[in-house]
Structures are given as C-alpha cells and as structure tokens.
Structure 1
Amino acid sequence: MSTAELAATGPQVGTERPMSTGAAVAGVVRAETAKLIRRPATWLLLAITLVLSLLFTYLVPYAGYAGDTGGFRADLGLAALLPDRLVGNSIGGLPVFLGAIMVILGVLTVGGEYGWGTWKTLLTQGPSRLAVYTGKLLTLAVATLATVLAVYAVGAVTSAVIAAAENQAIHWPGLGDLFTGIGAGWLVAGVWAAFGGLLAIALRGVALPVGLGLVWLLAVQNLLAVVAAPLIGWVADLQQGLPGPNAGSLVAALGANSETPGVQQVVSGGQAAAVLAGYLVGFVLLGGVYLRRRDIL
C-alpha cells in the first residue's frame, strides 16, 4: 500500500483551509510508518540484518573457538564474544554489509512512490513535496534507530548466553559507552539510508538505485581500499574523505574488530563522526533540492 493510499484513508483536507506544514508532515509520518510496518520487505530486511549480525559476529567465531579451528578472530578467542565487547560487535557490520541493507531501506522508503507511480495522487492530498520528503526522512530515522537497537539487543542476548555457557563473568559496557555506540551506529546507518534515499530521488526509481548503492558499498569502496589505496597515494588520501572509510574508522575507534570487512582506522573517531555528519546533512539537503526542482515523473 502506497503513502497516497494510506493518506487517503485519513481525514481529508478540502478547500476550506490549507493544510499546515506540521499537520502535513505528521500525516506523512503516520502513513509511512504504517506502510513500513505492513510491508513484508521491511521485516525481511530486519531479519537479514539480525541473522547476518548474529551469524558472523557470534555464531561462526564461536564455532571456530569451540572447534579450535583458528581463522577469523582466532587471536582474540572467547574474549571477542563476551558482553563487554557488545558495542564494537554490534556496529562492526555497518560500514559494509549491514550498511548495504540500510541503503535498500532508504531507497524503499524514499523512492517507493516512483515504483508505484503514486506521486501525483499523494501530492493532490495536500502536502507539498518537501513536507512529504521530511515525513519520509523522519520515518526513516526511526526505522534505522530501531534496526540498530535490535542488533544491540540480539548481540546482548547472544553474548550473555555464550558467557554463561563458558562460565565467564558477565561485564557490560558502561552506559556512556553504550549510548555512544548506539549513537555512532545510528549515524552510520542514517548516512547509508540517506544515501539510498538520494539515489532513489536522483534516479527516480527503486531497482537501479538499489543496484548502484550495493555496487558502491560491496564492490567499489572495497576495491578502492584494498587494491587502489596501497598503490596510489592520492587514492589513499581520498579515503579520508569518503563515507565508507570514515564509517569504518568510527566503528573501529569504538572497538569493532579490524578483521571485519570495511573496518579500518583511517582517521580518528572524532574526525570520522564529523565527516559522516557532513555527509548525512549533504545527502538529505541534496535529495530535497532534487525532489523540489525536478520533474517527479
């Protein structure tokens, strides 16, 4: 069900008085929230996120530890899986793999109207383009935060079970470290979701933006970091200003394992957070400019 169809089920604004911006944004948020909850793809993306996080952060390393096979995280052993590593373990996948899922979520949330061809129907309900865009972004912000919190929750339960099974003392991160980690994860997830939203608006679709976003996260930025940067000096310098390496630097500063793809301390954590915040604002503003000035069809 599209935003236009959901909005049409609520109170209608006729010609008696114009809809206020706040009411328009609130209506879009309600409609987008209902749409995300009812859309099976939303729950599928969340399930994939949690399965990937659980499998490659805890279950595979623990199986290797229990079987004494070495490999990934063999140098850290059981210590890498305990509750005191919750922050780093929860956000380590966001620079690449979990970040790719956030791109898809951003494309679906912001660009769904292109896929359904319902922009005209939606805008005739009363809200302006920017009111619709703002409502979509607010909904997307809540969705990314909920995803990050879900990853933390699954990680907390799994790490506690592993600690109990191995008769290890359970020590949780401090509240300050936990809130910092959640905020950092939300920032990285928000950057990738906003990137997906920008691609959806710029390309006026869903399939191509998803494809290009995944190619960038899973292929291009890794090739730049692994292949080009060690050989070409200016590419190595360029890494310090790209969103992927800064995301990897931020989560590395908070304890993410450096063996995780995309996690590398290229710049300091503070600089990485500032660069990512700049990208977030830039993606959001550029998407708004495109949506406001270009033909929606």
Structure 2
Amino acid sequence: MVVGFAFVVPYAIYLALDPATNPDRGGLLQIVLPGEVHRTALGSYPMFGGAVMLILGALVTGSEDRWGTWKVRFTQGPSRSSVMTAKFVAAGLAACLMALVALLGAIAASLLIATLAGASLSLPTIPALLTSLGAATLIAVAWTSVGMALGVIFKGATVAIAVGLIWTLALENLLSGLAGILPALEPVRALLLSTASGSLVGSTGAPLQGAGGTPGVVDHLSAGQSVVVLVGYTVAALAISNWLMLRRDIT
C-alpha cells in the first residue's frame, strides 16, 4: 500500500497529465522523489496503514477462539498473562518489521522514480529517516494493539475487524469533524487514535490534509501529546486483554 498508493499512483498521474494544461503537475513528482520519501511514506499510516495493522492485530487474537486453541495454550504450562504478553510482544515486533520493510520499499520506489525522471537521488538525512521509521513503528504498534484487544473482547476476528474499522475510519472522522464546529468535543478529539496518529505524522512536516496532503494527516496535537496517546492505547489494550483473559471461562 505504501509503495503503490503513495508512490506509484502519484507518479502514474504525473505522467498522464499534460504539462501544457497542468503546470502544477510538478508537485506530484516532488512528493515521490527521494528527498521527501520519509514524509510521503509516513503519511500513509494515519488512516490506511493503521487500518491494515488493526486487521493484523484482530487476526492474532481473534482467530484463537475460532480455532479453539486458547484452551490448549493455557493448559500447556504458561499463565494466561504470560501468553497474552508474549502475543503482544510478537505482534509488536511484526509491526516494527512491517514498518521497516515499508520504508525500505518506499526508498527503493522513490529512487527508481527519480532515476526515470532524471531527478536528484539525494535521500533525507539519517535522523530524518529514523524519525519517520520511529513514528511509523509507534503508530503501527498502537493500531495492532487495539486490534488485538478487540479480538479478545469480541472473541473473534470478523466482528473485531468490523467494529474497529467502523470506529476508526468512520466514527472517529465524524467526531473529529464535529469537534471543529463544537468546541466541547475538542477534548474527545484529542483522545482519538486517528487524531494522535495523524498529528504525529503532521509534526514531522508532512503536508496536512487541509493543505492538500494525505487524508488523516492533521495538527491537532503536538508530537509529545501524540506519543502519549499512542502509548496509552498500547498499554490500555494489553491491560484490558489480560484482564479479560484472566477472568474468562475458556472451554
């Protein structure tokens, strides 16, 4: 998704536009060149990338109920808390690896596009790339954790995915939009997962949604506030999952 939607599609549109009638088409090329790869790749996470990671998390825990493997796991020796913590750690590592692979794929795509366009191959600085990777990893882990908690709550992946996507992609966007009209909803918007993700991306200098950037990239929170909210979701997801599994009758 990062390579396809953030790089290939904009470049294809750039090639299809007529320079004589679209003098601003150069802007499409700029965002997919190596110099902007850290911001362009990261801009895919607040909405689309987060949703994919939520699905991953729901599959990690929700599938256990359908397969009937919770009972087997819990009777082999490890405590329920140990099993749940291990699953969260494993899913978190998978999310980190996916974020790294996505960034490497984005770099490769941008270098290829720059070569084809005869543009500069200069990449951002190492600190800029690490900042992008760190933000992507934090967002990916938070969304994955929420998906895992939903899988535990609803005892299945299908309902967990449906509820998670409806809430994060529809209801959160609705609440965020209403907060711009009703100031009383501003504290609620500050606690939304999508708001924290989009604000963290926006704090890196990525173009905001209101300025023609990727949907979901906003500036409602500072970088520090965004990190606190995302870490809070991760910790709360693990705590809720452990609490439910310790009290649930597994048969």
Give the alignment's TM-score, normalised by structure 2.
Answer: 0.90
**1:266–1:75: structure 2 CA closer, same or farther, 3 Å change rule?**
farther
- The alignment covers a number of residue pairs equal to 244
Q: 1:247 & 1:233 partners in 2: Cα distance?
A: 21
Q: Which amino acid aligns with 1:178?
A: L
Q: Which amino acid aligns with 1:266?
A: H
Q: Secondary structure at the match of 1:260?
A: coil
Q: Which amino acid aligns with 2:127?
A: G
Alignment of 1:191 with 2:150, yes or no, is no
Residue among 225, 238, 242 paired with 2:192: 242
Query: What residue in structure 1 maps to residue 48 of structure 2?
Result: 97
Query: What residue in structure 2 maps to residue 13 of structure 1?
Result: none
> How far is the alpha carbon of 1:145 from its aligned partner?
0.8
Root-mean-square deviation (Å)? 1.9
Q: Secondary structure at the match of 1:95?
A: helix
Greater than 4 Å deviation, 4+ residue runs: none
Provide Cα deviations, 1:155-213, integer angstroms capped at 9, x if missing partner.
01110011111111112121112112111111101111000111111112221101101
Query: What residue in structure 1 maps to residue 103 of structure 2?
Result: 152
Query: What residue in structure 2 maps to residue 262 of structure 1?
Result: 216
The correspondence of residues 1-297 of structure 1 with structure 2, limited to 5 A, is 52-68=1-17, 74=25, 76-226=27-177, 228-258=178-208, 259-296=213-250
Q: Secondary structure at the match of 1:275?
A: helix
Q: 2:229 & 2:13 partners in 1: Cα distance?
A: 36
Q: 1:63 & 1:182 partners in 2: Cα distance?
A: 26
User: More displaced, 75-84 or 180-189?
Assistant: 75-84
Q: Which amino acid aligns with 1:85?
A: E
Provide Cα deviations, 1:19-55, integer angstroms capped at 9, x if missing partner.
xxxxxxxxxxxxxxxxxxxxxxxxxxxxxxxxx2222
Q: Secondary structure at the match of 2:45?
A: coil
**1:75–1:290: structure 2 CA closer, same or farther, 3 Å change rule?**
farther
> How far is the alpha carbon of 1:68 from its aligned partner?
2.6
Gaps (5+ residues) in structure 1?
A: 1-51
Q: Is the 8 A contact 1:92 1:263 kept in 2?
A: yes
Q: Is the 8 A contact 1:89 1:255 kept in 2?
A: no
User: More displaced, 253-262 or 81-90?
Assistant: 253-262
Provide Cα deviations, 1:220-270, integer angstroms capped at 9, x if missing partner.
1122223x2232222234212212101000011123332211111111122
Provide Cα deviations, 1:39-96, integer angstroms capped at 9, x if missing partner.
xxxxxxxxxxxxx22222112211222223699x957332111112121112212111
Q: Secondary structure at the match of 1:255?
A: coil
Q: 1:190 & 1:74 partners in 2: Cα distance?
A: 35
Q: 1:241 & 1:81 partners in 2: Cα distance?
A: 31
Q: 2:250 & 2:190 partners in 1: Cα distance?
A: 35
Give the alignment's TM-score, normalised by structure 1.
Answer: 0.77
> How far is the alpha carbon of 1:128 from its aligned partner?
1.1
Q: Which amino acid aligns with 1:92?
A: G
Q: Is the 8 A contact 2:14 2:26 kept in 1?
A: no
Q: Secondary structure at the match of 1:171?
A: coil
> How far is the alpha carbon of 1:280 from its aligned partner?
1.4
Q: 1:295 & 1:252 partners in 2: Cα distance?
A: 44
